[in-house]
Chain A
Amino acid sequence: MINKSNPSDEQARCRGCECEGARRDFMLKAGIGIMGVGAIAAGLPILGFVIGPAASAEGLVWIDLGPTDQFPQGQTRFGEFVDPHAAPTDGLTTRTGCWIRCIALGSFQVFSVNCAHLGCPVRWFEQSKLFLCPCHGGAYYEDGSRASGPPPRGLFEFPWRVDNGRLHIQVGILPGLEDVKP
């Protein structure tokens, strides 16, 4: 198709080709670049939305478990509270249990019900002074230390303090091995 007898024509045509080729090339590169910027603009909020819960450090909150005199000395009682991060759509799910042990006047231990093995709810047996887990048979002594079974450590404890004669504990996270060090 190219007319070899007319070099100037050919040159002109090729310059045109190059020019058009370069233009096409530029368009492609620009297109990829523009699309990339767009993808980042749209992708960042999506990513932020999905990983938000992992990135945000939700604070621990002190909550009130009631007057200390409802916990008899030397006994372990079941306590309930609603997690401070509860939303209306959570239903009953944010209701949380804990075991409150009053060692002596003004001295407490507050245990999470979640077994340190895999998080199942442990039950307190007053007579044998043991916590037993229904899932894999983890057992804990009265002070929360591991007695037997698969748990790698004792029960998780919530930090507590007594304020104006009322027992407060610090909650806000499902207790786990990474958060509560022994």
Chain B
Amino acid sequence: MIISLIRSVAAWCEDRTGLGALIGPILTHKVPKSATWWYVFGSATLMFFMLQVVTGICLATVYAPSASEGWNNLHYIDSSVPYGWLLRAIHGWSSNAMIVMMVLHMGQVFIHATYKFPRELTWIVGVVLCLLTFGLAFTGQVMRWDQDAYWGLGIGASIAERIPLIGSQVRALVLGGPIISGETLNRFFALHVFVLPGLMIGLVGWHLMLVLRHGISEMPRAGEPVVRSTYRADFEKRVHATGVPFWPDAAKRDLVFCGLALIALVVIAMWNGPIGPGGIPDPTIIDTNPRPDLPFLWIFGAVSLIPPSIEVFAFLIAPALLIVGLFAIPFFGNQGERAPSKRPIMILGVVLASTAVGVLTFQGATSPWSPVMDGWSALPTPTEYLAGRTPLERSGATVLQFAQCRNCHSLGGEGGLRGPPLDDVGGRLSYDQLIRQVQQGGGNMPAYGKNLSSAQTDAVVRFLSTLHPSNRPSAKTGG
């Protein structure tokens, strides 16, 4: 009786809505049997994006997108709104998780050359989605409206103004005026919650439609190249013969992986708490150390390496070439072998690119090129470097400290890493060479000729000359 009632209600719903007829074939469409665990990253990216939409809407119900209120408001969300801290934590860490999954998904698609005929457009839409994701990450960092957000905008503005001819107009367009102000935050808020997610939702729909239209690709096998004239028919024949329905055969792996990823995300979010906000966004507080969020650390690292002479190329042309190159990938090698074993140069490219991004991210996080701003005032001089020294040499140790040398140079492993450690400098450079280096600078060191008296320079160099390994004498001029 009840069962028949439920059945008739269900039948009524299906008759009037037609939803089952619409979604059923999509859910049960056949996918290649070989599409297994490699294929879960796209689903996980989508899941984290949906989580971003839901938590983002929740946060938008409380967040005040205002330069005068935003920063305080985040503290209010963290401390006074029920589960506010956790939602901010999930939104922040899920953003990182989405980028990780997206990069893995893109890597899988590249390694397996899924972008080849007929799936070129799926890749291109995917590249746009990738750019939108980074756009959302950057605009999201601005929403915190802390010191990192303020100075991060300054970095963005500095890059924008390097565009020839219209640089300052582009910068004003980005900032919403001649300076970073309240309108800047509101501009980025509109981008973060309306423009970019709107584009994202539309393009995710298109991306999925294209996946359905061209079918999920099979695992590549060496000796089975893509041939434009026969690929489609062969693919359909194979999928028809040996494929499995997406639901439940393929979807169960997505469920397991996405479920584990979601649990891990919630644990990470609870463990680490919300990201930021950092210091109060008062630009007169210059005792700050601006750093971008995790997804941008590699760019932060890369720009430290750029000499002024190639700035325009590095800031503008190189990123444009990179993006055009990503779009163009499916049109180079549109046919042919998909198996990684047959595409060693492409795989080498993946290895090189991921190594570069990994190293630059690590460098960006540790930033050895940055001076240790309190190195001169906070670090002790190792006692063994003072023992047995003359008063003059000891006074040189004081000059070394007060002239901020240790902001860039280390002694006993403590201090800046921008310049070489000074522990054995006396064994490498003679008294005369040291005098010249201190007075004239060079090799990325400022000249101290005008800033130190000759007595101070003499003292510091006499101290430095005592720093050499016990088994190696002081360097002598011409020796």
Q: Which of B281, B283, B288, B289 has the most CB of A within 10 A?
A: B283
B403: nearest chain-A partner, CB-CB? A128
**Most chain A CB within a 10 A radius of its CB, from B70, B284, B407:** B284
- Chain A residue numbers with a CB within 8 Å of B181 are 83, 85-87, 90, 93-94
What is the minimal beta-carbon distance from A126 to any residue of chain B, in angstroms? 9
**Once bound together, how far apart are the Cα atoms of A125 and B408, in whole Å?**
13
Of the listed residues A58, A128, A141, the one surrounded by the most CB atoms of chain B closer than 10 A to its CB is A128
Interface 1/0 per residue, B133-171 and A, CB below 8 Å: 000000000000000001100110111011000011111
Contact B183 A53, beta carbon cutoff 8 Å:
yes
Judging by beta carbons under 8 Å apart, are B289 and A177 in contact?
no
Q: Which residue of B lies closest to A94 (CB)?
A: B181
Which residue of chain B lies nearest to A82 when distances are taken between CB atoms in the complex? B284
Contact present for A96 and B69 (CB under 8 Å): no
Knowing A120-B290, A130-B446, A147-B441, say if A174 contacts B281 (CB, 8 Å): no
Q: A173 CA to B447 CA in the complex, in Å?
A: 32
Within the complex, the shortest CB–CB distance from A152 to chain B, in Å, comes to: 4
Q: How far is the CA of A90 from the CA of B175 in the complex (A)?
A: 13
A53: chain B residues within 8 A (beta carbon): 172-173, 175-178, 183
> Considering only CB atoms, which chain B residue lies closest to A124 in the complex?
B286
Taking the complex as formed, is A23 at the interface, i.e. its CB lies under 8 A from any CB of chain B? no
Quote the shortest CB–CB distance from A170 to chain B (angstroms).
13
Number of A interface residues at 8 Å Cβ cutoff, please give it.
59
Any A CB within 8 A of the CB of B211: no
> In the complex, which residues of chain B have a beta carbon less than 8 angstroms from the beta carbon of A69?
none
Any A CB within 8 A of the CB of B227: no
The reply to whether B441 and A89 form a contact with Cβ atoms under 8 Å apart is no
The stretch among B306-314, B334-342, B421-429 that forms the contact with chain A is B306-314
- Chain B: minimal CB distance from A132 (Å): 5
B306's partner among A89, A90, A150, A174 (CB-CB below 8 A) is: A150
CB proximity of B262 to chain A, nearest CB, Å = 36
Residues of chain B contacted by A176 (CB below 8 angstroms): 157-158, 161, 167-168, 171
- Residue-wise, chain B 276-290 has the 8 Å CB interface mask toward A (1 for contact) of 000011111011111
Q: Is B451 an interface residue (CB 8 A)?
A: yes
Q: Which of A51, A80, A86, A142 contacts B284 (CB 8 A)?
A: A80
**Complex Cα gap A85–B176 (Å):** 12
- Give min CB distance, B300 to chain A, whole Å: 8
A119, B308: Cα distance in complex, Å: 14
**CB interface residues, A 57-115, toward B, < 8 Å:** 58, 78, 80, 83, 85-97, 113-114
Contacts of B304 in A (CB 8 A): 135-137, 150
* Per-residue contact bits, chain A 5-38, to B (CB 8 Å; 1 contact, 0 not): 0000000000000000000000000000000000
Q: B76: shortest Cβ distance to chain A, in Å?
A: 15
Measured between C-beta atoms, what is the minimum distance from B239 to chain A in Å? Answer: 44
User: Are A91 and B369 closer than 8 Å at their CB atoms?
Assistant: no
From the candidates A54, A95, A125, name the one contacting B282 in the complex (CB within 8 A): A95
Query: Within 8 Å of chain A (Cβ to Cβ): is B215?
Result: no
A150 x B373 contact (CB < 8 A): no
A130→B451 contact, CB < 8 A: yes
Instruction: Assess whether B308 is in contact with A174, with CB atoms less than 8 Å apart.
Output: no
Interface size class of B (residues with CB under 8 A): 35 or more
Most buried by B among A86, A88, A121: A121
User: What is the CB-to-nearest-CB distance from B313 to chain A, in angstroms, rounded to a whole number?
Assistant: 13
Q: Please state if B169 and A128 are interface contacts (CB–CB under 8 Å).
A: no
Contact B282–A92 (Cβ < 8 Å) = yes
- Select which of A80, A87, A89, A125 is within 8 A of B404 by beta carbon: A125
Docked-complex contact A118 and B155, CB < 8 angstroms: yes
A48 in contact (CB, < 8 A): no
Q: Which residues of B contact A118 (CB under 8 A)?
A: 154-155, 158-159, 303
Query: Is A137's CB under 8 angstroms from B286's CB?
Result: no
- Per-residue interface assignment for chain A, residues 132 to 153, with 1 indicating a CB less than 8 Å from any chain B CB and 0 otherwise: 1111110101100001111111
A85 near B154 with CB under 8 A, answer no
Q: Complex: how many Å from CA A128 to CA B446?
A: 10
The listed residue (A130, A134, A152, A174) touching B175 by CB distance below 8 A is: A174
Q: Give chain B nearest CB distance to A181 CB in angstroms.
A: 12
Cα distance, A60 to B163, chains bound together (Å): 22
> Min CB distance, B169 to chain A, in Å?
4
Contact (A139, B446) CB under 8 Å given A54-B169, A54-B170, A123-B373: yes
**Complex: A134 Cα to B291 Cα, angstroms:** 10
Question: Is B68 interfacial (CB-CB < 8 Å)?
Answer: yes
Q: List 8 A-B contacts (CB under 8 A).
A: A88-B68, A92-B283, A93-B150, A114-B154, A134-B290, A141-B450, A147-B441, A147-B446
Going nearest first, the 4 A-B pairs with the smallest beta carbon separation are A91-B68, A119-B154, A147-B446, A152-B308
Query: What is A's interface to B at a CB cutoff of 8 Å?
Result: 50-51, 53-55, 58, 78, 80, 83, 85-97, 113-114, 117-123, 125, 127-130, 132-137, 139, 141-142, 147-153, 172-174, 176-179
* B contacts, CB < 8 Å to A: 66-71, 150-151, 154-155, 157-159, 161-162, 167-173, 175-185, 280-284, 286-290, 300, 303-304, 306-308, 311, 367, 369-371, 373, 376, 402-405, 407-408, 418, 441, 444-448, 450-451
